Amino acid sequence: MQHAVPIKETHSGLNNHIYYASSSMQGYRPEQEDAHCNELDVPIDPTKNRFDQDHKFCVFGVFDGHAGAMASEYCSKHLLPCVVQCEEERLAQLPDDCEDSLKRVWGSDDLFTTAYLKCDADLRQYHLDCNVQPELGAGTTSIAVYCRLPVDKTKPHEIVCTNVGDSRAILFDGATNTTVAMSKDQKPSNDKERTRIEAAGKMVSMGRVMGNLAVARAFGDFRYKNSPDVPEIQQAVCVEPEIKRYEFTPATTLTNGQYQFVVLACDGLWDKMSNPEVSDYIRQHLAEYQIFNEEYALTQTQMEPVQRTWMHKQVSTWTSDDIASFLESIPSKFKRYFRLINNGRDLVNYVTNDAAWESLMQTKEGIVNPHDFTEAIGQEFRDIVLKTIEENNAKLTADVQIKSTTAKLAFLTEKLIDFVVFKKRSEDNVSVTIILLKPTSEN
C-alpha cells in the first residue's frame, strides 16, 4: 500500500526468570498475516513428566504467514499443544535407568520433528474441515524458542530454538559480550535445500521453489508437498525444524551493560537489519531506558515516535496524507467513497456536526461513487472517525509514564518495529518478540 498501517498488536508479561514483549505491525502490506505464540507457563502433566520437576517451561514463537493468515493463525495456536503431547508421550515411556540427557523436557531433537510433522498433518486436515483445498491454502514459517528455566534461577537457563523457514532468532549474552545466531535462513537457493527440492522432483527458479515460494521449509504450502512416494520430511517444502540449543548463566547483577536477551522476528526485520545491528539497537535502548530501574520513567523525548502518523495527532490537524493513511488502516470499502476529503478540519466538521453530516448524506457532494453509497456505510464510517477522535484526544492529553520493566520492553519492541518500517523502509509485515532475562538479584 502507499501508506503504512501503523496499528500494532502488542503483548507483554513476566515470570520469575524473564520479561517478554511481542508486537506486530501490518506496515505497507495489504493484510496482516503474522501471528505470535507467547506462553509463560507451559503445563507438562506431572504424572507423565516423572523426571524434570525442578524446571518451569515457557515458549515463544513468531509465525510469518503468506498467501493468507490461515496457516500462521492455526500454527500459533496448535503447534505448542502438539509438542507438549508428543513430549508427554516420550517422557511417559522412558525407563528409570535411561540416560540423564533424555530425562530433560525438550530433551530430544526427534521430538520436535515428530510434533512438527503432526501439526502440519493437522493443518492439512484443518483446510479440508474449512472447505479449503490444501493445495490452494496458505503457508507459514515458524521461529520458536522453548525455554527451560530452573526453579533455582541462579542455575543455567536453557534456550532451544527451532526454525522452519526464513524468520530468525538471535541471542545476546552479556556475560560473554557475544551475539549468537540461533537459526539459519532456509532459502531454496541454499545447497542443502536445493538438493532436497530437486530430489523431490521440483525446481528452484529465481531463488524460489518453482519460481514462486521464497522459503524452502514451511507449514502448509501443500502444493509443494505432493511428490508421490516421497516421505513428508523429504518433500520439496518440508517442516523438519533445524534446532539449536544455548545455555545462559544468568548475570548476578547488571554491570557494564551485561544484558541477556533473545530476539525472534520475521524476515521483515532481518531483510533490513543485520544480527549485530538488531542486537546493538536493543542494547542501546535497554541502557538508555534504565530497563531494570522502575523508578525511572521514560522522558518525553524518549517517547517521541520514530515517525509521526495520524495516530499521534489530533484529527483536526490531519493533512490529506494523514487521511489517506487513516483510510488504509480501516476497512477498504470506505476509501472508495471518502478519498476526496482534503484535511482533518473538514473531516471533523462532517462527523461532529449533525447538520453537515445530514447534508453530506443527502447530497453526497464530495462522495466518490455515490451511486452505490448508502447511509449505513456512511454511519459506520462516522462511528469509526468519532471513536478515533476520542481515542486520539485521550492519548494526547494523558500524562503517560512508562516506568515498569515490562512496559519499557513493550515500548522498545514497538519502537524497533517503527524504526525498521519508517526508517529502514521495510515493506513487509513486521513481527518481533524480545525475551529479556532477569539478573538473579532481581526479584
pLDDT digits (tens, 9 = 90+) for 11-62: 999 999 999 999 999 988 888 899 999 999 998 888 888 899 899 999 999 9
17 phi, psi to nearest 5 deg: -115, -35
Closest CA to 324 of 342, 303, 307, 345: 342
From CA 361, how far away is CA 367, in angstroms rounded?
9
Q: Check residue 3 and give its pLDDT.
A: 87
418 phi, psi to nearest 5 deg: -60, -40
Q: Enter the DSSP assignment of 422.
A: I
Angle at alpha carbon of residue 266, lines to 187 and 326, rounded to 5°: 130
Q: Check residue 290 and give its pLDDT.
A: 94
| Predicted confidence (pLDDT) at residue 440 exceeds the cutoff of 90 | no
* Mean pLDDT on 317-329: 93
Angle at alpha carbon of residue 156, lines to 439 and 22, rounded to 5°: 60
| Predicted confidence (pLDDT) at residue 400 exceeds the cutoff of 90 | no
Query: Sign (positive/negative) of CA torsion 257, 262, 265, 271?
Result: positive
HSE-CB of 185 using CA atoms within 13 angstroms = 18
Q: Check residue 256 and give its pLDDT.
A: 59
Q: Which long-range contacts (CB under 8 A, 24 or more apart) does 403-407 make?
A: 403/294, 403/295, 403/296, 403/297, 403/298, 404/294, 405/14, 405/19, 405/291, 405/292, 405/294, 405/436, 406/12, 406/13, 406/14, 406/19, 406/21, 407/12
| Predicted confidence (pLDDT) at residue 252 exceeds the cutoff of 80 | no
| Predicted confidence (pLDDT) at residue 408 exceeds the cutoff of 60 | yes
Average pLDDT value over all residues in the chain: 94
Query: How many CB atoms neighbour CB 281 within 10 A?
Result: 17
From CA 323, how far away is CA 342, in angstroms rounded?
8
* Mean pLDDT on 422-429: 92
Chain-centre distance of CA 253, in angstroms?
Answer: 30
pLDDT band at 255 (very low <50, low <70, confident <90, very high): low
| Predicted confidence (pLDDT) at residue 178 exceeds the cutoff of 80 | yes
| 259-303 pLDDT, tens digit each | 999 999 999 999 999 999 999 999 999 999 999 999 999 999 999
Q: Check residue 253 and give its pLDDT.
A: 67
Q: Check residue 442 and give its pLDDT.
A: 56
Chain-centre distance of CA 310, in angstroms?
Answer: 23
From CA 146, how far away is CA 88, in angstroms rounded?
15
Please give the span between the terminal C-alpha atoms of the chain, in angstroms, as a whole number. Answer: 46
User: Domain segments of the chain: what residues?
Assistant: 5-298+402-437, 310-397
| 59-100 pLDDT, tens digit each | 999 999 999 999 999 999 999 999 999 999 999 999 989 988
| Predicted confidence (pLDDT) at residue 389 exceeds the cutoff of 80 | yes
From CA 414, how far away is CA 25, in angstroms rounded?
9
Helix, coil or strand: residue 339? coil
Instruction: Please give the grid coordinates belonging to residue 333.
Output: 470499502
Q: Check residue 332 and give its pLDDT.
A: 87
* Mean pLDDT on 127-155: 95
| Domain spanning 5-298+402-437, CATH class | alpha beta
* Mean pLDDT on 298-315: 94
Residue 370 near residue 362, CB atoms below 8 Å? no
Closest CA to 240 of 181, 201, 180, 186: 186
If you search the block for the grid coordinates 557475544, which residue do you land on?
178
Q: Check residue 443 and give its pLDDT.
A: 44
